[in-house]
């Protein structure tokens, strides 16, 4: 595809005036070869493998950044869920593995490293339990390590035992970092239908189906999208708005695709996916909330917000897939409160509530993200919030997540300050009427009936074939039985002929269906 000078100038303008950037270049690294019965040796293996594999990640990303003039905000690494490699050792405290990963991140000069994670959507193994119990201390004692736990999936449903466990983990992580505005909880996310190729933290992991090393890129560009929509006339209809969003998403994604290919080539690893997500920043003008307001919502959180977000999310996906054939990750619009200046203003104005954010998550790519809640919120309420969001993901067959921050020592109206990319988050009101039924042990919410639905979608064809065979004409039956033309066939003989026709028409694949037919007719023909 030829790139014209006008397009180059347009891209440069996006960078200079509209906050266009590549949010992250993330290298996924497999740790499967690092498992060891001795925890100390495993930590050494992990450190050595990560540092050797991603040795040139930062300098390569910086070189591409200088050459193409498009900023790369973060350089990150994701690794195999640590619980999978920790299963071979018997140590209860797995915090040393987090320390090894943090040292590797510091050595490499990367911003964040994700993968101190576990997958417990159907059951909690011993290694999973030990890792989850180690998460609060691991996040409190490291600066770059991020953690995630998948507690629900479409097929398995919601593991409510795991929900209660991670709710307590969120609270413990916040308490251990209370002197830092509970920042530990900001590095932990709970998932339903976790994806294994996302470049975005804190939920990035290197899935077991990935190559040994792979480059995934996450684009950004809410400011570019807002600037493009502001140029439309006030009389523009929704179709014109949708077309403009798709065109702009294409331009943003094309820059990410270029950077992804070049980074993979220079590092000598496989090219992974491009995540199309619109990821906001605290900078003024780089806001998803602002885009929703330009589309037509008075204030983000007001009536129509969910519909506007659905339009934005759909058009971003449609426009982005034209620019890359390797779409992955979450790919849509993010709605993190602390990282979006428009969201912060909406919360402070009283237009955006936790319940409205939950409704918005039904149509966007993520879930409840970077939301500060009162520090005295009980664990039952946190578990209920997580369970609600997991249910949205399971029923709608989409990825949803919860990253809430119990602000220890603070209440509604206060603010937690993180600076940089995490921004600031006003503490939001939580519905105090939380029950305990979802916190009872040994409970689970079953998954959907997708498998049964898939089977059912094939059954009508088989049933119709059987019905046609049952209603086979007498002439067909007589021909198959070898009778002479004009000879009348009645009673048991006719029933036997029709059964043979049914068996022949259904074929060998439907033998189990044929047996009841023969069993029904055979006694009558004797």
Once rounded to an integer, what is the mean pLDDT over residues 153-172?
92
List, for residues 25-35, the tens digit of each pLDDT value. Answer: 999 999 998 88
Which residue is associated with the tokens 């976790």? Answer: 194
- Owning domain of residue 473: 451-525
On whether residue 459 sits in a domain, the answer given is yes
Q: 283 vs 429, which has greater pLDDT?
A: 429
On whether residue 226 sits in a domain, the answer given is no
Tokens representing residue 71 in the block:
């900023």
- Look at residue 320 in the predicted model and tell me its pLDDT: 82
Contact status, residue 259 vs residue 19, Cβ threshold 8 Å: no
- Look at residue 523 in the predicted model and tell me its pLDDT: 43
- Look at residue 490 in the predicted model and tell me its pLDDT: 57
What is the pLDDT confidence band of residue 319, given thresholds at 50, 70 and 90? confident
On whether residue 220 sits in a domain, the answer given is no
Alpha helices in 4-38 (DSSP H): 5-17
pLDDT at 77 over 50: yes
Distance separating the N- and C-terminal Cα atoms of the chain: 75
On whether residue 289 sits in a domain, the answer given is no
Pairwise CA distance, residues 202 & 370, whole Å:
10
Pairwise CA distance, residues 420 & 230, whole Å:
27
Q: Which residues contact 501 (CB under 8 A, 6 or more apart)?
A: 469, 472, 476, 477, 480
DSSP 333: B
How many percent of the chain have pLDDT more than 90? Answer: 38
- Look at residue 401 in the predicted model and tell me its pLDDT: 92
On whether residue 455 sits in a domain, the answer given is yes
- Look at residue 427 in the predicted model and tell me its pLDDT: 92
How many percent of the chain have pLDDT more than 70? Answer: 79
- Look at residue 135 in the predicted model and tell me its pLDDT: 95
Once rounded to an integer, what is the mean pLDDT over residues 331-349?
87
Once rounded to an integer, what is the mean pLDDT over residues 103-112?
93
Cis peptide bond N-terminal to 480, omega within 30? no
What is the pLDDT confidence band of residue 477, given thresholds at 50, 70 and 90? very low
pLDDT at 19 over 70: no
pLDDT at 79 over 60: yes
Pairwise CA distance, residues 316 & 16, whole Å:
22
List, for residues 204-223, the tens digit of each pLDDT value. Answer: 999 888 889 999 998 887 88
- Look at residue 515 in the predicted model and tell me its pLDDT: 47
Beta bridge partners of 344: none
On whether residue 181 sits in a domain, the answer given is no
pLDDT at 493 over 90: no
The tally of CA atoms less than 13 A away on the side-chain side of residue 123 is 2
**Structural domain tally of the chain?**
1
On whether residue 468 sits in a domain, the answer given is yes
On whether residue 462 sits in a domain, the answer given is yes
Round the CA-based radius of gyration of the chain to a whole number and report it. 28
Tokens representing residue 370 in the block:
């970077």
pLDDT at 60 over 70: yes
- Look at residue 224 in the predicted model and tell me its pLDDT: 82
């Amino acid at each position: 595809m030829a790139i014209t000078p006008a397009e180059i100038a347009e891209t440069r303008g996006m960078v200079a005036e509209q906050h266009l950037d590549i949010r992250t270049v993330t290298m996924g690294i497999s740790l499967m070869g690092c498992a060891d019965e001795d925890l100390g040796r495993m930590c050494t293996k992990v450190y050595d493998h990560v540092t050797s594999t991603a040795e040139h990640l930062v300098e390569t990303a910086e070189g591409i950044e200088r050459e193409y003039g498009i900023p790369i905000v973060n350089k990150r690494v994701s690794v195999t869920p640590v619980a999978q490699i920790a299963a071979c050792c018997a140590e209860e405290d797995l915090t040393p593995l987090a320390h090894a990963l943090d040292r590797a991140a510091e050595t490499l000069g990367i911003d964040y490293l994700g993968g101190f994670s576990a997958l417990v959507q159907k059951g909690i193994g011993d290694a999973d339990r030990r890792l989850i119990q180690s998460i609060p201390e691991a996040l409190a004692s490291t600066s770059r390590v991020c953690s995630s736990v998948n507690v629900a999936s479409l097929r398995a449903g919601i593991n409510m035992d795991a929900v209660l466990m991670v709710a307590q983990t969120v609270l413990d992580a916040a308490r251990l970092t209370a002197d830092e505005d509970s920042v530990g909880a900001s590095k932990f996310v709970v998932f339903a239908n976790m994806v294994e190729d996302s470049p975005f933290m804190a939920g990035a992991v290197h899935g077991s189906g990935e190559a040994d090393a792979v480059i995934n890129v996450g684009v950004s560009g809410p400011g570019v999208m807002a600037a493009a929509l502001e140029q439309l006339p006030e009389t523009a209809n929704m179709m014109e708005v949708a077309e403009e969003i798709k065109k702009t998403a294409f331009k943003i994604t094309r820059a990410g695709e270029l950077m992804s290919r070049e980074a993979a080539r220079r590092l000598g690893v496989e090219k992974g996916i491009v995540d199309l997500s619109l990821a906001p920043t605290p900078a003024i003008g780089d806001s998803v909330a602002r885009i929703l307001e330009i589309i037509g919502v008075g204030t983000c959180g007001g009536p129509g917000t969910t519909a506007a977000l659905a339009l934005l999310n759909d058009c971003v996906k449609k426009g982005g897939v034209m620019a890359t054939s390797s779409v992955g990750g979450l790919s849509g619009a993010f709605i993190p409160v602390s990282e979006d200046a428009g969201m912060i203003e909406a919360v402070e104005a009283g237009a955006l509530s936790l319940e409205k954010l939950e409704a918005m998550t039904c149509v966007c790519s993520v879930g409840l993200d970077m939301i500060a809640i009162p520090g005295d919120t009980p664990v039952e309420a946190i578990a209920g919030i997580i369970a609600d969001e997991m249910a949205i993901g399971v029923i709608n067959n989409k990825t949803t997540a919860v990253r809430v921050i119990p602000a220890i020592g603070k209440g509604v109206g206060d603010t937690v300050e993180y600076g940089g990319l995490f921004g600031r988050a006003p503490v939001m009101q939580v519905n105090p009427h939380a029950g305990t039924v979802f916190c009872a042990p040994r409970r689970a919410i079953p998954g959907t009936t997708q498998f049964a639905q898939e089977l059912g979608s094939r059954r009508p064809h088989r049933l119709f074939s059987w019905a046609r065979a049952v209603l086979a004409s007498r002439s067909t039956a007589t021909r198959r039985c070898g009778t002479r033309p004009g000879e009348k066939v009645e009673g048991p003989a006719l029933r036997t002929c029709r059964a043979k026709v049914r068996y022949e028409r259904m074929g060998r694949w439907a033998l189990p269906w044929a047996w009841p037919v023969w069993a029904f007719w055979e006694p009558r023909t004797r």
